[in-house]
Each structure stands twice: as structure tokens, then as C-alpha cells.
Amino acid sequence: MSLVNMLTKNCLVGDAKAVPIVLSFSVTCPNLRPSEMSGKSTSLPKQVINAPRHSRLKGLSVQVQPRMVDLFSGCGGFALGARAAGFGAELAFDVDPILTSSFSTNFPDSTFIPGDLSTATGSDILNLAGGHVLGVFGGPPCQAFSDIGQRKVDDPRRDLLDHFFRLVAEISPAFFVMENVKGLGYADAKPVLDAAMARVAGKYDLLGPVLLDAADFGAATKRRRLFVIGVDPRRCDPITLADLEGAKMPAATVADAIGDLSSAVECEPDLGFDVWQLPPSAEGNSYRDQLLAPDAKFTGHRQTAHTAAVIERFRNVAQGGVDIIGRHPRLAWDGQCPTLRAGTGSDRGSFQSVRPIHPTEPRVITVREAARLQGFPDDFRFHPTVWHSFRMIGNSVSPIMSKAIFSLLAARTDHGRLQIAAE
């Protein structure tokens, strides 16, 4: 069965008036309550998605129709970078109801569709996008290729990599960007990647696979990921390794990212989220200033309540050291955070990832501290549950790295050239 049976066409997204988009699709959609994730396949015969009237994200261009397609969107770190580079609203897809639970809140002018992309066709997506797509981006599930996982060759999630490239070939965008773990480049997985890339090799100029570290592009976290970038030479100028080298900049430090958060004051909760506000301050830095909300409020800063024994143990770990029992690394104010990992959902054991210890306080970092380190703005919401929020952040592309890549692409497409000329 096709992912999407379009019942109304030519729907406008981001227009002055909300327009209902009526869809039917087959979707792997667990129970939407955070505490229950059955993983059962459910058929949703019809769903009405109202395209919102406006976007709350300031200073970002919004197009009449979603011309960017976000496959395996997760919470939207990749999309944030695309928007910061000047691209407009997305048509986003993902099957995980928890990782995407706040997508429509953070991107109200986008259209999000929960669905299994292995059943989708390019024509489905093109119809939803209004017949034309400028760019496709996404990070197919990486667990089957992760060097800390079991890397089973029969893991069905491995097939989703091929579906990403299949959809790119069918949609035929001007460019695409694929992100995954570095383990996808290992000898036992590289043939899978090569076969998937062969689907687009004849039409696209390909850069990659190449390993890029978010810290090299100004983030406060070390996060090495594998990228493949493809451009249609008829519609987009190529990107080279030299271009990526030229986009690099010094990494932010842990102090730059989270040094001010200890002064935050808790406010009234909102929709299940704990809310905090920073006092007025003349001190700041360029990293923090780009993430700060206009009202200085943010969510997700409630601290973990550790036992007295754990608190004492954490006190004895030096900055840059590692807790010998829980293997928690302790952050150093003048360094970068190690890669934040996602843990697993309830369908795979509900394992929590090891969280770093705060540089000077004897506790693990909060959700908001993790978000700052990864490069998310303060007005970005995750999930009321700490575990799910860390899964969302750990599965995401750093918006700062994403912005660097999409900024290069924006300057090489007609979209970007026209925008620059208008300015």
C-alpha cells in the first residue's frame, strides 16, 4: 500500500489561512502515550492536518509550499539548520511518535506525516509538496550501523538507507544531504552504502561519504558523523571538500554553551514542561546569544535527583575525567561535550544513554544543557519526560553543523542566489 493517498491536491502550507490536508496512509504508529509504545502497525484511514497560520520562528524565510523534504525527521535538528540557512518550510516524515512528538510545535508552518517510508513513493511525496522539491535531507536510522550496537546484517532498519536513496532518485531534487553514523563507512557496511548511492550516481555529483565533526563547525560538542551530499549539476553548483574546510570555525566551549544556566529561575509549568527564565545579564557570548529566546525562557532544566552515594562519587571526578562505576564523563568548562547518545526506545529495552556530569555540580546534565551543547535554541521544546528528551537530542543532527552544510548549498542554488540578490 502506498504511504500516501492524496485526497486533496495543491494544498498551500504557510499561507495566511490554514488549509486542511486530507491524507490516508499505512503507518507504523505505536500508541501515542509516552508511557506505551507497542510498535504495532496501524492503518490510519484518514487524517486531517491543518497547516498553521504562521511560524513562531523569527527571521526565517517561509515559502508558500514546502519545497524541502525531511525524511526520518526525528525532532528536527536537521531542519533547524536548513531554516537557519534560509530554506523554508518542510514536508517531514518519520515513524517514531515520541521522537517527533514536538515537531509540529517547533515547526508549526511545516507539514508532518507519521508514516513508514519503506512504503512511500516519490510521486506520493511530490504530490504532497505541490509537484516540486528543491532539496531532500535526512538521517536514516543508524542503529544497525552504529559501532556501539550489534550491527546485525539482518536488522531490517538497514534497508531504510536504500529507501532514502530510492526516494531521492524518484523525487529528483536539486540536491540532497544524507547523515548517518561513522560505522556506515566500515568495511562490513560500506557495500550497503555503495549499493544505495548507486541509485543516484548517474544523475548527481556526489561528495562523500565524508566524516564531519560538529565541533569543527562551531558546536560545543564533538560529534563525528558520516555525510553524503549530492547535487544535480543542472540546478546546483557542486560542493567540494575545500568548501567544507572553508566553512569550519573554532568550537564553542562548554562554558560558552551552558555557563549561564545555573542562574535560571523556575517559573510556572506549561503543558507538562518545567519552565525556567534567565535574569537580565550584560554578559554573553556569540554561541549563547544565537540560542537565547527573546523572553529568556526555556524548558527542560529540572535536575536529576541522585542518591547521596552517587553525589559523593561525582564530586570526586575531575573535569575531563570519567566516573569509574557509571562511566559518566565529566565535562570541562574549557572543552567540548563528548557525543551525546540516544539510548533506546521501549521496543528495544528502554536503555538510557550515559549522560555527562556537569563541570562543577555533582549531577548529570539537564535536558536544556544537552540541547545547548548540541546547538538547539532555547525556545525549542522536546518532551516532558527526560528520557525521551535525551533520546530526541541524541538522535539529532547538530543544528549548527546542519546550518553550515545548508548555507553552502543555499549559495549554490537559484533559491540562494535569488535570496542574496533580494537582500
Lowest average pLDDT, out of 142-156, 195-209, 293-307, 323-337, goes to 142-156
Shared-domain flag, residues 309 and 362:
yes
Is 142 part of the annotated catalytic residue set? yes
Say if 46 falls within a structural domain: no
CATH number of residue 95's parent domain:
3.40.50.150
Q: Where are the alpha helices (DSSP H) in 172-285?
A: 190-197, 241-246, 254-258
Say if 1 falls within a structural domain: no
Say if 261 falls within a structural domain: yes
63-74: pLDDT as tens digits: 344 489 999 999
Q: Is the dihedral of CA 92, 96, 99, 100 positive or negative?
A: positive
Shared-domain flag, residues 355 and 228:
no
Say if 342 falls within a structural domain: yes
Shared-domain flag, residues 263 and 308:
yes
Above 60 in pLDDT, residue 397? yes
Task: Quote the pLDDT of residue 282.
Answer: 62
Q: Cell triple for residue 21? A: 490536508
Lowest average pLDDT, out of 116-120, 278-282, 354-358, 359-363, goes to 278-282
Shared-domain flag, residues 159 and 287:
no
Shared-domain flag, residues 238 and 267:
no
Shared-domain flag, residues 245 and 259:
no
Nearest-angstrom CA–CA distance, 4 and 10: 14
pLDDT bracket for residue 210 (50, 70, 90):
very high
- Cis check for the bond before 173: say yes or no (omega within 30 of 0): no
**Chain mean pLDDT for the chain:** 81
Nearest-angstrom CA–CA distance, 142 and 20: 34
Question: Which of 139, 140, 136, 133 minimizes the C-alpha distance to 155?
Answer: 140
pTM of the entire predicted model: 0.81
| Catalytic, out of 29, 75, 142, 337 | 142
pLDDT bracket for residue 155 (50, 70, 90):
low
Lowest average pLDDT, out of 26-40, 158-172, 276-290, goes to 26-40
Average pLDDT estimate for 385-402: 95
Q: How many domains does the chain have?
A: 2
Shared-domain flag, residues 169 and 302:
no
Say if 48 falls within a structural domain: no
Shared-domain flag, residues 228 and 270:
no
Say if 78 falls within a structural domain: yes
> Using CB atoms within 10 A of its CB, is residue 152 exposed (0-12), middle (13-18) or buried (19+)?
exposed
Shared-domain flag, residues 67 and 211:
yes
Shared-domain flag, residues 287 and 345:
yes
Nearest-angstrom CA–CA distance, 200 and 193: 12
CATH number of residue 286's parent domain:
3.90.120.10
Say if 138 falls within a structural domain: yes
28-39: pLDDT as tens digits: 333 222 222 223
Above 70 in pLDDT, residue 365? yes
Shared-domain flag, residues 231 and 264:
no
Say if 126 falls within a structural domain: yes
417 lies in which domain range?
A: 57-251+401-422
279 backbone φψ class: left, alpha, beta (φ>0; ψ -120 to 50): beta
Shared-domain flag, residues 231 and 266:
no
Q: What separation in angstroms does the CA of 323 have from each of 306, 319, 334? A: 14, 10, 19
